[in-house]
Amino acid sequence: MRIEDLRPAKGSVKKRKRIGRGPGSGHGKTSTKGHKGQKARSGAGKGAGFEGGQMPMQRRLPKRGFKNYPFKLQFTIVNLRDIAKLGVAGDITPAILIEQGLIKKILDGVKVLGDGEVSSAITVKAHSFSDSARKKIVAAGGKAEVIEF
Distance CA(93)–CA(90), nearest Å, equals 10
Give all domains of the chain, ordered by start, each with its CATH number: 76-146 (3.100.10.10)
Q: Which amino acid makes up residue 49?
A: G
Q: 4-35: string of b/e by CB count within 10 Å (b at 16+)?
A: eeeeeeeeeeeeeeeeeeeeeeebeeeeebee
pLDDT at 56 (0 to 100): 95
pLDDT at 146 (0 to 100): 96
Q: What is the pLDDT along the chain (149 residues), one digit of tens a residue?
A: 899 999 999 999 999 999 999 999 999 999 999 999 998 999 888 889 999 999 999 999 999 999 888 899 999 999 999 998 888 778 999 999 999 999 999 999 999 999 999 888 899 999 999 999 999 999 999 999 999 87
pLDDT at 31 (0 to 100): 92
H or E, element range at 94: helix 94-99
